[in-house]
Structure 1
Amino acid sequence: MNIASLTESNDTSIAEKFRQGSPEATELFGLHPAQPEHWRARAAKLDASADRRASVSGIASAIRAYQAQLPAHAEASESLARLESGNALVVVGGQQAGLFGGALLIFYKALSVVQTARYAEKLLGRPVVPVFWIAGEDHDFDEANHVNIQAADGGVRRLRIDRPEGPRLAVSRTPLSAKDWQASLQELAVQLPDTEFKPELLARLQSYVEDAPTLSLAFARLLADWFGKEGLLLLDADDPSLRALERPMFRELIERNDLLEQALKAGENRVSELGFPLQAEIAEHSANLFLHHEQGRLLLHKDEENFVDRRGNVAYTREQLLSLTDSASDVLSTNALTRPLMQDYVLPVLAAVLGPSELAYWGILGPAFEAFEMSMPLLIPRQSFTYLPHNIGKLMDKYELTIDAALHEWADRKSQWLSRQDRWNLEEKFERAREQFASLYAPIMDTVSSLQPGLAKLAESNRDKIMEQISYLESRSIDAIAKQHEAALRQWDRIQLALTPLGKPQERVYGTIHYWNRYGSAWLSQWLNVPYEVTGGQRIVESLIPAND
């Protein structure tokens, strides 16, 4: 296994500045994972504030009920018992569900949660439990309903499962039929290349959707399959049992909503004063809470004394909204800015694993944590990888491509290579022809223009047409060279499809199942052997499997 660090393409972002430990970025978050004493300070603060969080036994009971729907692993049961003991702390990371496990970055996030918990447990000498928080309350089904694979013809294929007709409900409240799942599995079976691992993969997926689960539950089952043996616990933010335990925090978010808005605005000002761009500006008078309604998941805003949605479906006074926390707490949900506060109330969060965009969101949350007499957990940049198959590495060696060049300069390097195959110096010859033609034609243009002014435009048009024909012949000649090197150019394309499919980072395009199908479940488990980096960062990983890949 060969591992090397990669250059970060955006080294001025909040996430990268924080990862590098710059004082201005660290100031926004208070703690930094590279400082061992910060871990101990956070643990001490959690111990001192245990009575201000939700009941540990209640949370353990809710997780136990949810885990009962997932593949069972003794290690996950042991994690639950440790959490229930009251002495354990938690490393949490979350994501919206993804069809058949979603993009590879989700796998990397769960891996980061597991490895961070192990790191913290060794550092602190006490139990630290990994927890994955599925954002099942989110209602953007189109963000969750797809996965990309590389099909048998080498192209990227997006597989999707359509949202049923009706209101835009939370993903965890959107029912899917057995027919929906079977159609999606059949398409997957057709599009996935045939490998020795494909039958087992399809059988496992089939077993997880036989009872026509929601997208969130099917996703949870896959994560439990991949990481249950590492003690990973899963919970769904939209679980009614969890919602019941969140009532006190929902009351605070409603009662002190004006203070919340002021704190978020103060956080925005802090970020801007430090010279960082805002991930997204806070909408004025937003309550930063959602309401689950028959018309869908509705974002609430404040209109004088009432909480309303933009389309006028609902209007609640503060007292009426507070009464919902007792009578129907499962109709309320948090958004991206209040979810961190809710997590900190529900769990003893030692550390949260975040992607770059999430870190940017969290940059404004310091004053909000302070306003609710909480403190921010340690923030752990999600580990990010590019997997380099052995056969792709050999192609890169053949064309003298470094990994940075393959990731960031592929198109230019491919064009330069093709130019070097031109032993006729076509570019130079065609350029000389254009120059000579222009030189010969200029006196003619001058003559006909003086003969009759109206002929000047015709002369220009005639010149441009001839130039176009020269360029057309040049492009056809270059195509002829490319045709002579079709096999090599296909190899160049294979490099891009492997490392930057669709011109994007590999981890954001291909689903985990793409690699599972190609290399088997052993490929997935090998990631646990990749050395952990507490500050994350981009790394290239080569040869997780034998060289005949």
Structure 2
Amino acid sequence: MNVIPQVIRKGSALGEDYVRGQHSHELYEYDLQDGHSLRRRAEWLDAPNRPQADRQELVRVLTSYNARYNDYASVRESLEKLKDKQTLVVVGGQQSGLFTGSLLVVYKAATIVHAARLASKDLGREVVPIFWIAGEDHDWDEADHTYVLTHDLEVRRLRMESWHDGKSSVSAVEVPTEKWEEVIAELELELADSEFKAELIGMLRSELPQSTSLSEGFARLIGRLFGRYGLVLVDSADPELRKVERPMFERLIEQNDKFEQAYLQAAERIEDAGYEQQAQAVEGAANLFYIHEGQRLLLYKQDGKFVDRRGMVILTKEELLERLERCPECFSNNVLTRPLMQDYLFPVLQAVLGLGEIAYWAGTKDGFEAAGMQMPILLPRMSFTVLDPSTKKNMEFYGLTFEDVMERFESRKEAWLIQQDKLGMDGMFEQTKAEFEQLYAPLIERLGELQSGLANLGMKNREKIVDQITFLQEKTKQTIARQNEAELRRWDRIYKMLFPLDRPQERVYTVFYMLNRYGLDWIDELMKIDPDLTGRHRIVEV
């Protein structure tokens, strides 16, 4: 694979400023450009009495989970290393998605593995890669779909249709076998035929129909792709994990006012620095969810009690703590407390994040301090656009750069189409309209002298005639476009490959689209690319 650095729009001002080192340094604990950060963070993690979970119990839970969905020798080796209190981790994660969701999930997993290896080498101690599956999230609409480019060049959404109320966590929603079979059959229909397709579909049929939830299916597929690299998986909705997390939930409840003020203080600092909040800190928010009758309810504080918006749950602090003792699996973090829980569970050396995530983590810095913890080093995930030979050839033929496709594709395509007007029809139409209006102007002026109402009628008449000329002009353009339909499809293919749905490729297509084109060992080829942990985007020519 040939790899070319490339600037691409990302969409998060604070995230972009962070990776360039141009942010307010009060917003984060460590700077990406600081070469001493790694050792300073490791030293802090080695300090005694920092808040942390029972490591042996954590490893027991992880071993049980990975034995079910990610049972590979390298994973078992990683778990064995994690038993040692000297072992650190690099962690990153994503909400579970259909067929692993978009390519960025795969790139994040690859970054975690690479970062752990590099940190282990730099520090001379074991560093284990951890992938955090955000199974406690309940936004089913974000997790239930993915996209492929079909053989007839349509960007097609594959979706697991909803059959539930959408208020339960993704990991708690049971997926019937027939739902898996339906969506795999749809993927098989939409993917172009290739030498790898039968093996790929066979692998999906062996893994997914036995999965009881979207999160379980996600775990099995991430395991198939990265288990051999020692990537350990954890589902944040695992009931056994909740028992390990209980002391941290207790602190979040008992000192809830303190954490609320910390998040509001961080939010104010973000806004003072000129940025918008990515994760909104709200006055009166408990920043915790409570699972009530299968529904994940966000808690607020009102009149000294913890309540949800609809009043389904009204509990005193003592009652909430009593329920935590009795049912830790009834509790769940929100976007601001999840980073703290992750750091409580694991000795997190580095957290691998997207730029949007880096931006909202700025709102957690004071929360870490309130918990007696410290925000870890934040690493931007690797970012790629895959450029296949056919797309590259077409871009070269039409003289298009990547920037052309990203910034001015429609104008370049329109200019090319005008060049196909060999008879100069568009210019003739424009000349005709200009000459007609010039000839008609004196007539309208004389009509106005005769009667003002006739001048208005004349102007409307002129507009109608110009509209008719323009109509014929557009019909002529359409005829020229039809005559060049095959080449215009090549133009559209370029854009749909690189920026489907007007978004970067990595945010749309599933990895299984790539695996169908290049084979199951494409992940191994991806892992051979030199890691870049600076947040720079790269084009990968395959």
Q: TM-score, normalised by structure 1?
A: 0.96
Establish whether residue 5 from structure 1 lines up as the match of residue 12 from structure 2. no
Establish whether residue 435 from structure 1 lines up as the match of residue 434 from structure 2. yes
Q: 1:460 aligns to what SS in structure 2? A: helix
Could you tell me whether the CA contact under 8 Å between 2:279 and 2:335 is conserved in 1?
no
CA displacement at 1:458 relative to structure 2: 2.3
Could you tell me whether the CA contact under 8 Å between 2:279 and 2:336 is conserved in 1?
no
Report matched runs for 1:67-216 at 5 Å: 67-166=66-165, 168-216=167-215
Q: Residues 163-208 of structure 1, C-alpha deviation per residue, up to 9 Å, x if partnerless?
A: 2234620000001111211111221221222211111111111111
Q: 2:69 aligns to what SS in structure 1? A: coil
Alpha-carbon distance in structure 2 between the residues aligned to 1:256 and 1:287: 10
Q: Residues 199-232 of structure 1, C-alpha deviation per residue, up to 9 Å, x if partnerless?
A: 1111111111232420000000000100000000
Could you tell me whether the CA contact under 8 Å between 2:288 and 2:299 is conserved in 1?
yes
Structure 2: stretches of 5+ with no match in the other structure: none
Report matched runs for 1:195-274 at 5 Å: 195-274=194-273
Task: Label 1:302 to 1:383 Cα distance change in 2 as closer, same or farther (>3 A).
Answer: same
CA displacement at 1:283 relative to structure 2: 2.2
CA displacement at 1:71 relative to structure 2: 4.0
Aligned residue for 1:547? none
Aligned residue for 2:510? 511
Report matched runs for 1:110-509 at 5 Å: 110-166=109-165, 168-294=167-293, 296-509=295-508
Q: 2:161 aligns to what SS in structure 1? A: coil
Alpha-carbon distance in structure 2 between the residues aligned to 1:12 and 1:129: 29
Q: 1:254 aligns to what SS in structure 2? A: helix
CA displacement at 1:453 relative to structure 2: 3.0
Which deviates more, 401-410 or 113-122?
Answer: 401-410
Could you tell me whether the CA contact under 8 Å between 1:385 and 1:538 is conserved in 2?
yes
Could you tell me whether the CA contact under 8 Å between 1:111 and 1:528 is conserved in 2?
yes
CA displacement at 1:405 relative to structure 2: 1.4
Task: Label 1:280 to 1:54 Cα distance change in 2 as closer, same or farther (>3 A).
Answer: closer
Alpha-carbon distance in structure 2 between the residues aligned to 1:167 and 1:396: 43
Structure 1: stretches of 5+ with no match in the other structure: 544-549
Could you tell me whether the CA contact under 8 Å between 1:156 and 1:501 is conserved in 2?
yes
Could you tell me whether the CA contact under 8 Å between 1:92 and 1:113 is conserved in 2?
yes
Report matched runs for 1:4-23 at 5 Å: 4-9=4-9, 13-22=13-22
Q: 1:69 aligns to what SS in structure 2? A: helix
Could you tell me whether the CA contact under 8 Å between 2:140 and 2:166 is conserved in 1?
no
Could you tell me whether the CA contact under 8 Å between 2:96 and 2:135 is conserved in 1?
yes
Could you tell me whether the CA contact under 8 Å between 1:89 and 1:349 is conserved in 2?
yes
Task: Label 1:103 to 1:49 Cα distance change in 2 as closer, same or farther (>3 A).
Answer: farther
Could you tell me whether the CA contact under 8 Å between 2:350 and 2:376 is conserved in 1?
yes
Task: Label 1:312 to 1:138 Cα distance change in 2 as closer, same or farther (>3 A).
Answer: same
Alpha-carbon distance in structure 1 between the residues aligned to 2:294 and 2:282: 22
Task: Label 1:123 to 1:243 Cα distance change in 2 as closer, same or farther (>3 A).
Answer: same
Q: 1:105 aligns to what SS in structure 2? A: helix
Could you tell me whether the CA contact under 8 Å between 1:287 and 1:307 is conserved in 2?
yes
Could you tell me whether the CA contact under 8 Å between 2:440 and 2:462 is conserved in 1?
yes
Q: TM-score, normalised by structure 2?
A: 0.97
Q: 2:262 aligns to what SS in structure 1? A: helix
CA displacement at 1:449 relative to structure 2: 3.0
Could you tell me whether the CA contact under 8 Å between 1:306 and 1:315 is conserved in 2?
yes
Q: Residues 22-50 of structure 1, C-alpha deviation per residue, up to 9 Å, x if partnerless?
A: 2x344311212433311001001011146
Task: Label 1:114 to 1:314 Cα distance change in 2 as closer, same or farther (>3 A).
Answer: same
Could you tell me whether the CA contact under 8 Å between 1:33 and 1:39 is conserved in 2?
no
Q: Residues 303-348 of structure 1, C-alpha deviation per residue, up to 9 Å, x if partnerless?
A: 1201111011111111111112210010000011100000011110
The residue identity in structure 1 corresponding to 2:461 is N
Alpha-carbon distance in structure 2 between the residues aligned to 1:8 and 1:152: 27
CA displacement at 1:444 relative to structure 2: 1.9
Alpha-carbon distance in structure 2 between the residues aligned to 1:212 and 1:376: 35
Alpha-carbon distance in structure 2 between the residues aligned to 1:11 and 1:278: 14
CA displacement at 1:481 relative to structure 2: 2.0
Which deviates more, 268-277 or 328-337?
Answer: 268-277
Could you tell me whether the CA contact under 8 Å between 1:164 and 1:175 is conserved in 2?
no
Q: 2:189 aligns to what SS in structure 1? A: helix
CA displacement at 1:51 relative to structure 2: 5.4
Alpha-carbon distance in structure 2 between the residues aligned to 1:225 and 1:483: 46
Q: How many residues align?
A: 542
The residue identity in structure 2 corresponding to 1:474 is Q
Which deviates more, 332-341 or 35-44?
Answer: 35-44
Q: Percent identity?
A: 43
Alpha-carbon distance in structure 2 between the residues aligned to 1:347 and 1:198: 39
Could you tell me whether the CA contact under 8 Å between 2:291 and 2:297 is conserved in 1?
yes
Alpha-carbon distance in structure 1 between the residues aligned to 2:51 and 2:486: 65
Q: 1:447 aligns to what SS in structure 2? A: helix
Aligned residue for 1:546? none
Q: 2:31 aligns to what SS in structure 1? A: coil
Which deviates more, 359-368 or 456-465?
Answer: 456-465
Which deviates more, 460-469 or 337-346?
Answer: 460-469
CA displacement at 1:11 relative to structure 2: 8.4
Aligned residue for 2:51? 52
Alpha-carbon distance in structure 1 between the residues aligned to 2:419 and 2:25: 48
The residue identity in structure 2 corresponding to 1:153 is D
CA displacement at 1:451 relative to structure 2: 2.7
